[in-house]
Amino acid sequence: MSLLQIALLLTSCVALGQPVGECAIPTTPVSGNVAGSQSAAPTFTGQALDVVLSAESVVVWDLASGSILYEKAADEQRPIASVSKLLTALVVREHVPLSTEVEVPAAVRVAQRQGVDVSLPIGAHVTASDLLLAGLVASANDAMVTLAYAVAEDEDAFVTQANTFAAARGMTNTRIANATGLSGGSQHSTAHDVRTMLELAYRDPVLRDYLSRPGGTLVTQEGSIRRYTTTNRLLKTYVPVIAAKTGYTREAKENLALLTEGSNGQRVGAVVLGSNARFQDSKVLVEWIWRNYSWPS
């Protein structure tokens, strides 16, 4: 910007009655990547053979630049099982303060019979924070149904809100039929849309923390205690986990959304859908990326 342009801009700020410090400093649009920066993309430099994966749909990207490093059928609509709890958590964070005491509804019995749960007692009261942690770390279905009722007083009404939320944020290939990802109804997403879910969750400091926890303890207001551990087995390996969410149903097969970090601080995201071995597929992908890409200093 020239001296003449700066002088004209300052004059305009004074005329408009705006603080010079806010008005005169041009702003830069935030990019769509997690880091919100315009970092240079990594360069493909390797000669390794292509990866061999069991997953049916995959996308890997660089967090700093947002560039795609690897993809396979990444726009294919598929069931994603409990990975959709990322979307549930995002909607909950918009509507329910963490300290809110939420009553466990009788409706959780259905979810408790169908999949993973933390055996929440009907009528008990639990903070939204404890429910979110159990829902994301242990993938507890009863915790997410309870939160859905806290948002909308009905799971169907919550689903409508969540689908609207997804579409408004560019996840136009995503549709859920419940708050848990359990089979039933019309629901699907894509690797690219799951990438968006994970990035949005990562931007929330609360969800970012929850998505890397190895376990937790849920205590109801009435004194019941539930201890649980993560469903993410990569936390016990050499792969650094910044944030991750798992998902499995017979229909969706094994799924994983992951953010990890390299030895020089470079960060990548990976979404693996429809896998027979999600953790192994993710290791193979990450190792292939480190061998075949170089990052600018």
Q: Per-residue pLDDT tens for 154-200?
A: 999 999 999 999 999 999 999 999 999 999 999 999 999 999 999 99
Which amino acid type is present at position 293? Answer: Y
What's the rounded Cα separation, in Å, for the pair 138 and 249?
A: 15
Q: What number is the average pLDDT over the span 204-208?
A: 98
Question: Does 264 have pLDDT greater than 60?
Answer: yes
pLDDT tens-digit map of 104-143: 999 999 999 998 999 999 999 999 999 999 999 999 999 9
Domain assignment present for 215: yes
Q: Nearest 5°: CA angle at 155, between 153 and 156? A: 110
In a domain, 1, yes or no: no
pLDDT at 13 over 60: no
Checking if the pLDDT of 9 tops 90, the result is no
* Residue range of the domain that includes 286: 43-294
Nearest to 67 by CA among 104, 34, 115, 27: 34
Q: What percent of the chain is predicted at pLDDT more than 90?
A: 83
Confirm whether 264 is domain-assigned. yes
pTM of the predicted model, to two decimals? 0.87
Least confident of 36-40, 209-213, 215-219: 36-40
For residues 268, 188, 164, 171, the Cα torsion angle rounded to the nearest 10 degrees is 30
* CA 238/CA 252 separation, integer angstroms: 27
Task: Name the residue with higher pLDDT: 29 or 163.
Answer: 163
* Helices and strands counted in the chain (H then E): 10, 11
Is 53 a member of any domain? yes
What's the structural domain count of the chain?
A: 1
**DSSP letters along 213-258, please?**
-SEEEEE-TTS-EEEEE-S-GGGGSSS-EEEEEEEEETTTEEEEEE
Q: Give the CATH number for residue 128.
A: 3.40.710.10
- How far is 92 from 125, CA to CA, in rounded Å? 17
Q: How far apart are alpha carbons 43 and 45 in whole angstroms?
A: 6
Q: Which of 111, 49, 34, 82 is nearest to 189 (CA)?
A: 82
Torsion of CA 74, 75, 81, 82, to 10 degrees: 70
* pLDDT for 33: 54
Assess contact for 57 and 78: CB atoms under 8 A: yes
The amino acid occupying position 76 is E
Look at the chain and count its residues. 297
